[in-house]
Amino acid sequence: MSNYKLIHLPADLPSIPQPVDPSAPQYTAPHEIAFLCWCAQHCPGNVLEIGCNYGRTTQALARTNPSKTVYAVDRTTISGLAPEQIGETPVFGLAGRLAWKEPNVALFNLPNGITPELISELKVGMVFIDGDHAYEGVKRDTDALLDADVRGLFVWHDYDILDNPDRKWIEVRRYVDTLSLSPLYVLENSTAACAWIARGTGPDFLGELVI
């Protein structure tokens, strides 16, 4: 059984701009996107999204955090992805397209995702991990961040506290629980789990949201 604290949405969520193309896939719910944007507004440093897809969340993060750079990563290959996830990978060349015009977005479309060398210079203070959901995939991405000495707020999508048999291929929770993060926060009515990694001093604004 995971040891987590449920948190509620903050009262002062930013309003989220409509995406350029509302027909693009929506993998992250509007209230989760608003929560991510709010977190980014409260975290020092830049934002990194691993698994940006067509850039729906990227665009919102960028518009609500104009003073930060939003780094967004997707991959050009499907090798090693669970069969259920292969269809999520954007059409070649179109990753992040909803955020292409945002002046504060930098996109990386890479064969196999991030490396510690790539991210160590980016001054990242918040990460949204929403790429490969297999155990080894989410571990590889998280390890790369830790190896690059990224410190701050880590948010994993699809942590999934419900034991839904249709979602067994999503192994984010199995991996995240091996980290024994304390406290680990889970947003209510959401699959997002988040924790501070060696954040140093400063207010724990998530702790104030515990239900």
Kindly state the smallest distance separating residue 17's Cβ from ligand SAM, in Å: 14
Q: Which is nearer to ligand SAM, 52 or 209 (CB)?
A: 52
Give the CB-nearest residue to ligand SAM.
Answer: 51
Kindly state the smallest distance separating residue 180's Cβ from ligand SAM, in Å: 23
Kindly state the smallest distance separating residue 76's Cβ from ligand SAM, in Å: 9
State the burial class of residue 80 (Cβ atoms within 10 Å of its Cβ: 0-12, 13-18, 19+): middle
Kindly state the smallest distance separating residue 70's Cβ from ligand SAM, in Å: 12
Kindly state the smallest distance separating residue 139's Cβ from ligand SAM, in Å: 11
Q: Which is nearer to ligand SAM, 34 or 73 (CB)?
A: 73
Q: Is the peptide bond preceding residue 183 cis, with omega within 30 degrees of 0? A: yes
CA 110 to CA 20: how far, in whole Å?
24
Kindly state the smallest distance separating residue 79's Cβ from ligand SAM, in Å: 10
CA 90 to CA 21: how far, in whole Å?
14
Q: Which is nearer to ligand SAM, 43 or 98 (CB)?
A: 98
Token look-up 């397209």 returns 97
Which residues sit at the interface with ligand SAM, rule CB under 6 A?
A: 27-28, 49-53, 56-57, 73-75, 88-90, 113, 130-132, 137, 141
Q: Which is nearer to ligand SAM, 137 or 152 (CB)?
A: 137
Q: Which is nearer to ligand SAM, 7 or 73 (CB)?
A: 73
CA 129 to CA 158: how far, in whole Å?
9
- One-letter amino acid identity for 113? G
Q: Which is nearer to ligand SAM, 22 or 203 (CB)?
A: 22
φ, ψ of residue 204 to 5 degrees: the values are: -90, 85
Nearest CA among 13, 15, 22, 16 for reference residue 98: 22
Nearest CA among 209, 180, 161, 176 for reference residue 35: 209
